[in-house]
Amino acid sequence: MKLKHLYLALSVLGICYTWYYNIQWFQTAENLTFLGFMQDAQENFAGKSFGADLTVVVLTFFVFMIPESIKLKIRFWWVLIPLTFLIAIAFTFPLFLYMRANALEKLQKAT
């Protein structure tokens, strides 16, 4: 199995794993708004720690992804920015790595 296929599998795992809990939140929460979600996520120090951690991960991902995508001429890379916030970084980061591996593979075949 190629590494890019592992990235794709991790992307699927990322969407399934995070949205399993998102769906549970939608089924049990009283305030079904983005603000309500953010308030629930900040309810204790553990949630705040995860939030801080993910903020740094997302920023680092964007700092890496944007110039790398432009350099490798990855098509539709910009779609990953809103998807990061709408779905999860656990989905978009491995999906970007899959897209990057495809671009690198094409470059190797061209040379």
Per-residue pLDDT tens over the stretch 20-66:
999 999 999 989 998 999 899 899 999 999 999 999 999 999 999 99
Binned at pLDDT 50, 70 and 90, residue 3 comes out as: very high
pTM above 0.85, yes or no: yes
Residue 49: C-alpha distances to residues 15, 36, 62, 75 (Å)? 21, 18, 20, 34
